[in-house]
Homo-oligomer: A and B are copies of this chain.
Amino acid sequence: MKGGKVSERAENVFPFYVMDIMARAQALEEEGRDIVHMEVGEPDFATPPPILQAGKQFLELGDVHYTKAQGLPALREKIAEYYRCEYQVKVSPERIFITPGASGALTVALAALVDEGDEVLTCDPGYPCNNNIVNLFGGKARPLEVKPGDNFQMTGEVISQAWTNKTRGVMFASPSNPTGTMVSPAQLRDIIKAVNEHQGFLISDEIYHGLVYDRRAISALEMSEDVFVLNSFSKFFGMTGWRLGWLIVPEYAVSAANRLMQNLYISAPTTSQYAALSAFDAETLKILYQRRDEFKNRRDVLYTGLKALGFGLFEKPQGAFYIYADCRAFTDDSYVFALELLEHAGVATTPGKDFGTSHPERYLRFAYTTSIACIREGLERIKNFLAAKEG
């Protein structure tokens, strides 16, 4: 059919503004400009050698067939063991699903929970795909403003005030993208309490666990068995391109998650699953902990640097690899400011607009997914740009 059109649900999935930034950055690089990339939400490190080695060994056999829809039993055992050691919680491997990235975990969880018109409370600012996938399944994401004073996180009070008879559940991420901030233990307890009082579901996005610098990350599973937990081999384990994550579901959703996995994915990539069997080895974890230290150092350099330049920063973010910086000292439109920073300072960042509608024009997200030398260079360039702008 000539002149066809796509579904309304697809029309309502908006493009990411950072794509414009990245396209322009690429164009500038092709012209010979040097760009400091602080827009990228992906670790710059290569996959740890023991994981690569396991992947290559698996490929030697050539037997790259489907796995069970739920994932390799041995990998689910290892994840269960990781929860025992890391969080002191017992999670049956029967409740663990190996998914194509945390994207797959998010999709399965939402498909298992959301019916037409169901309202899901999400964080604003937050990861934009959350809202989009809720809406793709006919639900209605309702982003709630989360405030600097609450670590840019939900609170039980915010949830209870927002709850309507259409509300079915809540999603949050700790550490958060774009803010890197975390829920406190008391805050998490209150969130769970509020959700339980309304007999709703809770989806806890824990994909940045592991990349937490000054405290221990708490899993929602430590406080409740009846939560959906998303996690990923992408960020802490350095396996982005392998497309591998996991989903932990309450007992009552095991059958549904299995049927959804079969229909939506058949199974997660097989080589990635075998490679990930080495992700929890002591040798691998040693490398990952070194990288975590490096991320912590980068954060400290970037945080101190941005503060010195006059960006508005709150408490130092505790995790992930993001700083969400208030730019009101320099602009009343952070998107325009991001374009200027790119054009005139050669620094790429992600504008607040990509993360919601609560004062996004105030903020830029800086990702410290680049070396300390590059971060220092970026800070220097911003300093010169701001000086020139004032002058």
Partner-B contacts on A (CB < 8 A): 1-11, 13-16, 42, 46-47, 49, 52, 55-56, 59-67, 100-101, 103-104, 107, 111-116, 118, 128-129, 132-133, 136-138, 195-196, 199-202, 226, 239-243, 250, 252-253, 255-256, 258-260, 262-272
Chain B residues positioned under 8 Å from A253 (CB to CB): 4, 6, 10
CB-defined A-B contacts under 8 Å, sample of 16:
A1-B195, A1-B199, A6-B112, A8-B115, A10-B112, A10-B260, A13-B263, A42-B66, A52-B62, A64-B239, A64-B241, A100-B100, A132-B263, A240-B266, A243-B265, A243-B270
A9 touches which one: B137, B255, B269 (CB < 8 A)?
Answer: B137
> In the complex, what's the smallest C-beta–C-beta distance from A200 to chain B, in angstroms?
7
Chain B residues positioned under 8 Å from A63 (CB to CB): 46
Chain B residues positioned under 8 Å from A272 (CB to CB): 269, 271
> In the complex, what's the smallest C-beta–C-beta distance from A13 to chain B, in angstroms?
5
Q: Are B111 and A252 in contact (CB under 8 A)?
A: no
Chain B residues positioned under 8 Å from A113 (CB to CB): 6-7, 10
> In the complex, what's the smallest C-beta–C-beta distance from A105 to chain B, in angstroms?
12
* With A100-B265, A226-B4, A241-B269 as contacts: A64 and B42 at CB distance below 8 Å: no
Beyond A7-B118, A10-B111, list 10 extra A-B contacts (CB 8 Å).
Answer: A4-B253, A9-B111, A10-B113, A47-B64, A55-B271, A64-B242, A67-B241, A100-B269, A241-B267, A271-B272
> In the complex, what's the smallest C-beta–C-beta distance from A109 to chain B, in angstroms?
10
Q: Are A59 and B52 in contact (CB under 8 A)?
A: yes
Chain B residues positioned under 8 Å from A128 (CB to CB): 263
Q: Are B265 and A103 in contact (CB under 8 A)?
A: yes
> In the complex, what's the smallest C-beta–C-beta distance from A118 to chain B, in angstroms?
8
A265 to B100, CA, bound (A): 8
With most chain B CB atoms within 10 A of its CB, the pick from A2, A199, A268 is A2
Q: Are A112 and B271 in contact (CB under 8 A)?
A: no
Chain B residues positioned under 8 Å from A101 (CB to CB): 265-266
Residue of B nearest to A252 (CB): B4
Q: Are A138 and B116 in contact (CB under 8 A)?
A: yes
A65 touches which one: B65, B200, B240 (CB < 8 A)?
Answer: B240
A269 to B7, CA, bound (A): 27
